[in-house]
Amino acid sequence: MEILGTEPRKPSFFNRKPRHIYGDQLLFLLVLLAMAILKSGTRSLMLGVFAVLASVIVDVLCCYFTKKTYNPRDLSTITSGMCLALMSPATLPYPLLIFGCSLAIGVKHIFGGKDNYIFNPTAVAFAFLIICYPVNMLLFPAAGEMLPIFGEIPLASNVGLENYLLRRGEFPALSALDMVLGNFPGPIGTTHVLIIIISAVCLLFRRSVSFVVTISCLSVITITRILFPIYDDVIGALMRELFGGYLLFSLLFLANDPQTIPKTVFGRLYYGVLLGLLTIVFRGGNDGMFRGRVEGWFIFALLIANTLSYRMDLVAAKVAAVCTRFAESLKKRLSAYERFSEQAKTGEQFSGDITATMEIDLIPSNYHMPEINNKVIKVERKKRKVLTVITDFFGNLRENAKSRREAPGHGHEPSFIAESYKTLFDTIKHIKHDESEAAPPPDGDIPLPEGNVSEPKSNIKITDFEEIKETVSEIEAEVEEEIKRKEAEQAEKARIEAELEAARAAAEEEKARIEAEKEEVRLKAEREKAEARLKAELEKAEARAAKAAEKEAVKAAKQLTVDSVQPAVEPEATENTEEPKV
């Protein structure tokens, strides 16, 4: 989501992807489930297993019916099921838990699936269950009571600490050690306060939960309860309010869902403050107007804050823009130049200090830009010294040789050394003539005006160029040798490339020959198979013909035998069949 030009930060260790965030949260949820197994028995394990299986199956079915691709690496589904299981009592029936998990995943897909839902799915399902089935959700077994996995579960009769705080206006006598270790009735996962605190520290360090949201919400609740206490024992009541219900667990694993919290820092600050204020309003006081009557009040405050999450980013952007404009306006009003200018325009008496530093806002412009009038301006070149000319000549000699070598047809051009000679001598002669004309009279020096520093003139005099000629000849020989060496290297490189090309062509030819031989062998094998198959067909046909002929011969022989026996048998049969006359 992009709010008024804000750009998302690049992924890093401190700005983790949602997949990594859900993985870190799931790790600590498994630790809480292990503690619940040690405390409440293996029924807690079965609650977690059924919740995860139901969530995954419903997610797969919803993806199938909505024609979306199920992502097995999406850990948000497993995290939602685990959170709902850990927020439930150990006596919760399995069908009710499965129904809650199905409702949570269904709500997520109703809003468009991952990255689109407005409300936290686990918070929606838990709020529905706590309103419709308060007996099953708000009555807990005794601390440390082992329950059977299946079969009849005894009816729980213990209420949580939130019931004492909200309905009875008191809290039971519990030591700080019992509060930290979770030795009191409650859900299977939210009573392990020490593990939750350790998980919070680790997740904050890993940037898997928002530091701004967590600290701002806890700070608002803590400061409000200290300033406006509702019990005599302020610290004890604050500990029971933070650790005795769903607040700490839900703040850590539900309120910090990366899909529902704002994206900007100030948006998350406002979000945390709003969540803390709504929590105080829902909780209220013992005799106040907004005294709470429903346990799990933090979940309902979270659902309201989820609806305003996107607006928090907009409010943060608008507040930042207003503060920026106010700062600029304040700066202009406090500026000495602006104040003196207003006094001068209105005719008021000047009350400023002339020596005071004044800030003037100037419009950026290029004051050195010449006027564009399509006129050609002749620029006088600065005279160069003899030493500079010689240095440039020897310094650029190799570059000149390289450019000459790379130019097409450079072998037929005149020697660049001769051209360089001519250019050098003409330049030196011109500089020597200018210096002789600008030389001062021999009888004295020309006085310089005060405050000016004259540049010392060069005292180099060219009387003989023999040494320069020898140096240039040596450099020319060196350059020619370098050119020959480069040409030899290029020729060697071309020879090697030709050999490689020939070897490559030979390899291709050999490969083609091998392929042809393979094709010939394959065709020969197919031809032999066809001949063998034809021969077998002929043999079968001959065998069938011989068998048919043999059958015909046997049939004919039988017919002859029957024809020869029939006349002798028929009279006897007729004589035997006649009936005696009476």
Give DSSP secondary structure letters for 475-529. Answer: HHHHHHHHHHHHHHHHHHHHHHHHHHHHHHHHHHHHHHHHHHHHHHHHHHHHHHH
Range of lowest pLDDT (135-144, 186-195, 452-461) = 452-461
- Within 13 Å and on the Cβ side, how many CA atoms surround 543? 6
Q: Across the chain, what does the average pLDDT equal?
A: 76
- Tokens in use for 444? 């004295």
User: How would you classify residue 445: left for phi > 0, otherwise alpha for psi between -120 and 50, otherwise beta?
Assistant: beta
- In sequence order, what are the residues at sequence separation of 6 or more whose Cβ sits closer than 8 angstroms to the Cβ of residue 21? 208, 209, 258
Q: For residue 459, is pLDDT > 50? A: no
- Tokens in use for 141? 């077994």
Higher pLDDT, 165 or 185: 185
- In sequence order, what are the residues at sequence separation of 6 or more whose Cβ sits closer than 8 angstroms to the Cβ of residue 41? 90, 146, 147, 148, 149
Q: For residue 325, is pLDDT > 60? A: yes
Element (H, E) at 140: strand 139-140
In whole angstroms, give the CA distance from residue 278 to residue 251.
13
Residue pointed to by tokens 């065998």: 543
In whole angstroms, give the CA distance from residue 406 to residue 410.
8
Question: What is the rounded average pLDDT of the residues 497-501?
Answer: 91
What percentage of the chain carries pLDDT values higher than 90?
Answer: 16
- The string of pLDDT tens digits covering residues 272-318 is 999 999 888 877 655 544 455 567 888 888 999 988 888 888 888 88
Q: For residue 579, is pLDDT > 50? A: no
User: How would you classify residue 580: left for phi > 0, otherwise alpha for psi between -120 and 50, otherwise beta?
Assistant: beta
- Tokens in use for 287? 């005799």
Read off the pLDDT band of 559 (50, 70, 90): confident
Other Cβ atoms within 10 Å of 278 Cβ, number: 21
In whole angstroms, give the CA distance from residue 447 to residue 309.
82
Residue pointed to by tokens 């139901």: 54
Higher pLDDT, 448 or 514: 514
Read off the pLDDT band of 352 (50, 70, 90): low
Other Cβ atoms within 10 Å of 335 Cβ, number: 15
In whole angstroms, give the CA distance from residue 306 to residue 341.
51
Other Cβ atoms within 10 Å of 390 Cβ, number: 17
pTM score of the predicted model: 0.55
Query: Torsions phi, psi of 158, nearest 5?
Result: -95, 135
In whole angstroms, give the CA distance from residue 296 to residue 166.
10
What percentage of the chain carries pLDDT values higher than 70?
Answer: 66
Distance from the Cα of residue 480 to its chain's centroid? 59
Read off the pLDDT band of 101 (50, 70, 90): very high
Distance from the Cα of residue 244 to its chain's centroid? 37
Please give the pLDDT value at position 38.
87
Read off the pLDDT band of 271 (50, 70, 90): very high
CA distances (Å), origin 319, targets 4, 210, 314, 566? 12, 21, 9, 126
In whole angstroms, give the CA distance from residue 115 to residue 104.
15
> Contact, 282 vs 329, CB < 8 A?
no
